[in-house]
Amino acid sequence: MIKAKKALQTILKHALPLGTEKIAIEDTLGRVLAENIYSDIAIPPFDRSAMDGFAINSKDQSKFFEIIEDIPAGKVPNKKIKLGQCARIMTGAMLPEGADRVIMVEHTKQATKNKMQVTKKSQKSNVSKKGEDIKVGQLILKKGTKIRPQEAAMLATVGQTKVKILRQPRVAVISTGSELVEPKQKPKAGQIRNSNASMLLLQLKRQGINGQYLGIARDNFVATRKLIQKGLKQADILLLSGGVSVGDYDFVKEVLGSCGVKIHFNKVAIKPGKPTVFGSKGKKLVFGLPGNPVSVLVIFELFVVSALDKIVGRQTKSQFRKMKLLKDFSRRDIKREQYYPVKIKLEKPATERRGFLVVPLEFHGSAHMQALTEADGIMQINEGVKNLKRGTMVNVRPI
C-alpha cells in the first residue's frame, strides 16, 4: 500500500504533455499557451487623448482658444493645431498635428459659439503616447501562460485570433458493476443507480474538459475488457469507477493487465479511497477508482486534477488552505490519512484579517454522498492523528 504523497508523485511522473493544437481565442479560457506572443503593433497605436477635453499645444499660454475641429474616437484629424487654436476631442481619439496636451473639459467653459475659455490651468498632458504601453515586437504573453479573459483581450489586441496551446487530454469514463442501472431507470431489487458517471463528467467539465461516457461494464471479463479497450483506443485518460477491490467479481486490474496497461499501484493509504488503481500505457493514463461515490470524488480531486494540470501545463499548486477548526474532532481509525467533509464559514467579526472556520459534518462513510452535498470542502487528517482540538489550524481543500 502506497502513501498518498508517493502516489501523487508517481501519477505526475507519468502525466506528460500531449502536444499542441491551434484554437480560436474564444475557446482558450483556462488553457495554456504553447508559444510566446509578440505584439505586431504599438499600443497605443498613436498619441491619443486620455479624456474628453480640448487638444492644444502645450506652449500656448492663451486663455481663449478657437475651436477648429471636433475629433471623436476613430476619426483621423484633418487640421493642424496652431497657436490660439484647439480641437474638441473625445477619450481615445487621435491627437491632431501640433497638439500635445489635452485640457480636460471640466477645466474649460464655452466662451462663444466657436471659442473655448480655460478656467483652470494644469501641467498634466492627459495624453497617452504612442507605444507607451507596448512597443512593436514586444513580448506580451509568455509560453506557459494560463489564459484568462484579460489575456484573451491582449491576444485580440495584437491580432492573434488563433493561438497554439497545449492539447487537452481526451477523457473517457466507464462505470463497472452488474448492480448498476442508468439514472433514468428505476432500480429493481439488488440494483442501484449509476451516480459516479454523472459526477465524474461534471468534475471534468469543471476542469474545462468534456468527458466521454462509455457506459456500464457488467461483471464479466469479456464485457469489461471490451469497454476498456474502447476507452484506451479513444482516450488519453481512462476513468473507471468500481471493480478495483478484492471481491470475486472485481477484476478490473486483471483486465487492464490483459490490455497492456502497466499497474503502478493498486492501494493508497488514505480514507476514503484505499482501493485506487493507477496504471499507464505509453502516454495514456488509467485511474481505477473505488465504487463508493465519496471515494470517487475525493480521489478525483486529489489525484486526477493534478494529473490534468500537469498534462495541460497549468501550474500544479496545493489546493489546500489553512483554516481554523470550529469544534473538537475525533476519529477511531488512525491508521490512514483521512479526508473528511466540512462546512466552511467566514470568521467573525468582519475584519480585514479574518480567516475561515471549518465545521466537520456528520459523515457515515464513503457511500454517504448526501454529506458531500452539504460540504464546502474536505479536511485532511494525517495518519496517526486521533483528536483535533477546537482552534487547531487544519488543511482544507474547497470542493
Domains and CATH numbers, the chain: 4-18+168-312 (3.40.980.10), 20-42+134-166 (3.90.105.10), 48-128 (2.170.190.11), 321-398 (2.40.340.10)
Band (pLDDT 50/70/90 cuts) for residue 253 is confident
Q: How far apart are CA 298 and CA 365, in angstroms?
A: 12
Q: How many residues does the chain have?
A: 399
Per-residue pLDDT tens digits for 83-112: 999 999 999 999 999 999 999 999 999 998
Task: Decide if pLDDT at 239 tops 50.
Answer: yes
Q: How far apart are CA 15 and CA 75, in angstroms?
A: 53
Per-residue pLDDT tens digits for 33-53: 999 999 999 999 999 999 999
The more confident residue out of 245 and 146 is 146
How many of the other CB atoms lie within 10 Å of CB of 386? Answer: 11
Does residue 252 contact residue 288 with C-beta atoms inside 8 Å?
A: yes
Q: Which helix (H) or strand (E) holds 255?
A: helix 252-258
Look at residue 248 in the predicted model and tell me its pLDDT: 47
Does residue 239 contact residue 289 with C-beta atoms inside 8 Å?
A: yes
Band (pLDDT 50/70/90 cuts) for residue 252 is confident
C-alpha cell at 242: 468500481
Which of the residue ranges 22-26, 176-180, 351-355 would you say has the lowest mean pLDDT? 351-355
Per-residue pLDDT tens digits for 256-302: 999 999 999 999 999 999 999 999 999 999 999 999 999 999 999 99
How many of the other CB atoms lie within 10 Å of CB of 195? Answer: 15
Per-residue pLDDT tens digits for 8-38: 999 999 999 999 999 999 999 989 999 999 9
Look at residue 318 in the predicted model and tell me its pLDDT: 74
Task: Decide if pLDDT at 352 tops 80.
Answer: no
Look at residue 245 in the predicted model and tell me its pLDDT: 66
How many of the other CB atoms lie within 10 Å of CB of 194? Answer: 23
Sign of the CA dihedral 61, 63, 65, 70? positive
Helix and strand numbers (H, E) in the chain are 8, 28
Phi, psi of 26, rounded to the nearest 5 degrees: -70, -10
Nearest to 296 by CA among 334, 240, 236: 240
Q: What is the mean pLDDT of the chain?
A: 93
Q: How far apart are CA 278 and CA 13, in angstroms?
A: 12
